[in-house]
Amino acid sequence: MKTLWYYLFKILIKFSLFFYTKKIIVKGKENIPKKGAVLFMVNHPNGLIDPLIVTTNNPRTNYFLVRAASFKKPLIKRFLNSLNLMPIYRMRDGVKQLGNNAEVFNKCYDLLNQHKALIIFPEGSHNHKRTVRNLSKGFSRIIFGALERNPTLKIHIISVGVTYQNPSIYPSNVCIHYGTPILANDYYKPKVIHSEIKRLKEAISSQLKTLSVHIPLDENYEKTLTALTSKNVNFTEIEKVNLMISTKTIIGRTKKMNYVGFIKPIIILNCIIPWFIWKYIENKIEEFEFIDTFRYGINTITVGINFMIVTYALSYFYNWTTATIYLLSSLLLILLYSKLHPIPAK
């Protein structure tokens, strides 16, 4: 039953993301092993929408480690657990809470031993900066702990780069790039464990820097980012952009005309209550990285409910033909706006 619920929810999310994003580009999908223990190591630029986009464009049934703060309310905890999400505790959650990680790590060992797939965000937190940050070493505890329990187990690590064209606006292009597998067993040497952890982190970090847009976080970061955005580069063309950064030769694009701008007021008028709800909540969001997450989640729910209410009302007062025409035309307007609206770089 839990598996059926997981796949139904995955289909629902994938369907809603189709309307929410302009385009989701997936590269390197052939690198994902069809069977066996896998640890997906994903960079984390954009809040909770990152795992949704990755898992709906991944053929494996995935289990996630997410920050424990999301599990505070019992009802939400139950819902997240039903979707294979597990809490990971950090220092900011309190020193006493760190002891709870032992149980979570044991679950991870068991999942890998059962040849399941885990998704981890090794940077430890989200950040919108276009740079690959230092990786925490928590993932190595999971990998080497599982191998310590079962030395014959094969664990493959897949680095995953996630890059948005502009996560601050709707819609946005996203590129997901799966790297070539790294066999964790090659780094499991108990006698020199610390040096091997460092070597493994360097291997994963190196891959992530080629799988996502990486601007070195130094004194030239803002200058480089400004140059790229002013030239309106396509950040989802990762290889080209990283080459521009390394060679300091930036080739821009001409800004496209917005031929569907007139659709936005129609959509807002049609979804006026969801729009007011979103604007009220938007002003209360403190972290930039959560704007896209809340915009997607809140609008998916409120707009969906709005369409159901209006469709039912039209069928009640008129007929189902009128109601169906309204629903399909409303969805078509959102689809046209999402797929044809030009996206500036940021």
26 closest CA partner among 226, 243, 179, 242: 179
Residue-level pLDDT at 91: 57
Contacts of 330 (CB under 8 A, 6+ apart): 270, 307
Q: Where are the domains of the chain?
A: 2-214, 217-254, 263-340
- pLDDT digit string, tens, across residues 142-153: 999 999 999 999
In this predicted structure, the answer to whether residue 281 has a pLDDT above a threshold of 70 is yes
pLDDT at 131 over 90: yes
Entry pTM = 0.92
d(CA 189, CA 24): 39
**Under CATH, to which class is 2-214 assigned?**
alpha beta
d(CA 135, CA 202) in angstroms, rounded, equals 9
Amino acid letter, residue 285: I
Say whether 288 sits in a helix, a strand or coil: helix
Please list, in sequence order, all residues whose beta carbon lies within 8 angstroms of the beta carbon of residue 261, skipping any fewer than 6 positions away. 341
Query: Given its phi and psi angles, is residue 36 left (phi above 0), alpha (psi -120 to 50 degrees) or beta?
Result: left
Tokens 């505070």 correspond to what residue? 72
Model confidence at 73: pLDDT above 80: no
Write the burial class of residue 318 (CB in 10 Å: 0-12 exposed, 13-18 middle, 19+ buried): exposed
Res 95 pLDDT > 70:
no
* pLDDT (0 to 100) of residue 104: 83
